[in-house]
Amino acid sequence: MKGFVDGKPMTKMLVDGGAAVNLMPYTTFCKLGKGPEGLLEIDMMLKYFGGNASKTRGTVNIELMIGSKTLPTTFFIIDGKGTYSLLLGPDWIHANCCIPSTIHQYLIQC
Protein backbone atom coordinates (compact mmCIF):
# COMPACT_ATOMS: atom_id res chain seq x y z
CA MET A 1 0.00 0.00 0.00
CA LYS A 2 0.94 3.62 -0.36
CA GLY A 3 0.24 6.52 1.96
CA PHE A 4 1.77 9.41 3.88
CA VAL A 5 3.67 9.44 7.16
CA ASP A 6 3.70 12.87 8.78
CA GLY A 7 2.99 14.29 5.31
CA LYS A 8 5.85 12.41 3.59
CA PRO A 9 5.00 9.82 0.90
CA MET A 10 5.55 6.20 1.90
CA THR A 11 5.34 3.01 -0.14
CA LYS A 12 5.64 -0.68 0.72
CA MET A 13 3.25 -0.64 3.68
CA LEU A 14 2.13 -4.14 4.63
CA VAL A 15 -1.14 -4.90 6.43
CA ASP A 16 -0.71 -8.02 8.58
CA GLY A 17 -3.62 -9.20 10.68
CA GLY A 18 -1.31 -11.75 12.31
CA ALA A 19 1.10 -9.15 13.68
CA ALA A 20 0.75 -8.16 17.32
CA VAL A 21 1.79 -4.51 16.92
CA ASN A 22 2.63 -1.90 14.27
CA LEU A 23 6.30 -2.11 13.29
CA MET A 24 8.69 0.32 11.64
CA PRO A 25 12.30 -0.59 10.80
CA TYR A 26 14.85 1.86 12.18
CA THR A 27 16.04 2.60 8.64
CA THR A 28 12.55 3.88 7.73
CA PHE A 29 12.47 5.92 10.95
CA CYS A 30 15.75 7.61 9.95
CA LYS A 31 14.56 8.24 6.37
CA LEU A 32 11.66 10.22 7.85
CA GLY A 33 14.25 12.62 9.28
CA LYS A 34 13.75 11.52 12.84
CA GLY A 35 16.45 10.78 15.38
CA PRO A 36 16.78 8.83 18.62
CA GLU A 37 15.52 11.83 20.59
CA GLY A 38 12.10 11.34 18.96
CA LEU A 39 11.68 7.87 20.47
CA LEU A 40 9.80 7.00 23.62
CA GLU A 41 11.95 4.35 25.28
CA ILE A 42 10.32 1.06 26.13
CA ASP A 43 11.83 -2.17 27.44
CA MET A 44 10.28 -4.76 25.16
CA MET A 45 11.46 -7.72 23.08
CA LEU A 46 9.68 -8.63 19.83
CA LYS A 47 10.01 -11.65 17.58
CA TYR A 48 9.96 -10.88 13.88
CA PHE A 49 10.20 -12.68 10.55
CA GLY A 50 12.01 -15.99 11.14
CA GLY A 51 11.36 -15.95 14.89
CA ASN A 52 14.41 -13.84 15.70
CA ALA A 53 14.02 -11.85 18.90
CA SER A 54 15.08 -8.23 19.01
CA LYS A 55 14.86 -5.46 21.58
CA THR A 56 12.81 -2.53 20.36
CA ARG A 57 14.51 0.84 20.14
CA GLY A 58 11.32 2.48 21.37
CA THR A 59 7.98 3.73 20.12
CA VAL A 60 6.94 6.72 18.08
CA ASN A 61 3.55 8.32 17.47
CA ILE A 62 3.02 9.56 13.91
CA GLU A 63 0.19 10.73 11.66
CA LEU A 64 -0.49 8.02 9.11
CA MET A 65 -2.68 8.83 6.11
CA ILE A 66 -3.91 6.08 3.81
CA GLY A 67 -6.59 6.94 1.29
CA SER A 68 -8.74 9.66 2.80
CA LYS A 69 -8.21 8.60 6.44
CA THR A 70 -5.62 10.12 8.73
CA LEU A 71 -5.01 8.55 12.12
CA PRO A 72 -2.36 8.99 14.82
CA THR A 73 -0.58 5.64 14.95
CA THR A 74 1.98 4.19 17.37
CA PHE A 75 4.83 2.18 15.87
CA PHE A 76 7.42 0.02 17.58
CA ILE A 77 10.86 0.72 16.11
CA ILE A 78 12.99 -2.37 15.45
CA ASP A 79 16.42 -3.04 13.98
CA GLY A 80 15.09 -5.84 11.81
CA LYS A 81 15.23 -5.68 8.05
CA GLY A 82 12.27 -6.44 5.84
CA THR A 83 10.89 -5.80 2.42
CA TYR A 84 8.33 -3.37 3.86
CA SER A 85 8.57 0.19 5.13
CA LEU A 86 5.78 -0.19 7.70
CA LEU A 87 3.92 -3.19 9.05
CA LEU A 88 0.37 -2.36 10.12
CA GLY A 89 -1.14 -4.69 12.71
CA PRO A 90 -4.62 -5.32 14.12
CA ASP A 91 -4.87 -2.09 16.11
CA TRP A 92 -4.50 -0.04 12.91
CA ILE A 93 -6.90 -2.36 11.07
CA HIS A 94 -9.59 -2.03 13.75
CA ALA A 95 -9.10 1.71 14.31
CA ASN A 96 -9.67 2.29 10.58
CA CYS A 97 -12.59 -0.15 10.30
CA CYS A 98 -10.72 -2.06 7.59
CA ILE A 99 -11.31 -5.51 6.20
CA PRO A 100 -8.08 -6.99 4.80
CA SER A 101 -8.07 -9.89 2.37
CA THR A 102 -4.70 -11.61 2.19
CA ILE A 103 -5.99 -13.95 -0.52
CA HIS A 104 -6.99 -11.12 -2.85
CA GLN A 105 -4.36 -8.67 -1.52
CA TYR A 106 -7.10 -6.11 -1.12
CA LEU A 107 -8.12 -3.75 1.69
CA ILE A 108 -11.63 -2.38 2.16
CA GLN A 109 -11.96 0.77 4.27
CA CYS A 110 -15.46 1.41 5.61
Spans of all domains in the chain? 3-109
Tell me the average pLDDT of the chain: 85
Side-chain-side CA neighbours of 74 within 13 Å: the count stands at 10
Question: Between residues 82 and 48, which one has the greater pLDDT?
Answer: 82
- How many other CB atoms sit within 10 Å of the CB of residue 65? 16
Can you tell me the mean pLDDT for 63-70?
88
| CATH fit for domain 3-109, picks 2.40.70.10, 3.40.50.720, 2.60.40.1930, 2.40.30.10 | 2.40.70.10
Predicted model pTM: 0.84
pLDDT in tens, 18-36: 788 899 999 999 999 988 8
Residue 35 confidence (pLDDT): 86
Cα separation, 10 vs 29, in Å, equals 11
Residues 6+ apart with CB under 8 A from 104: none
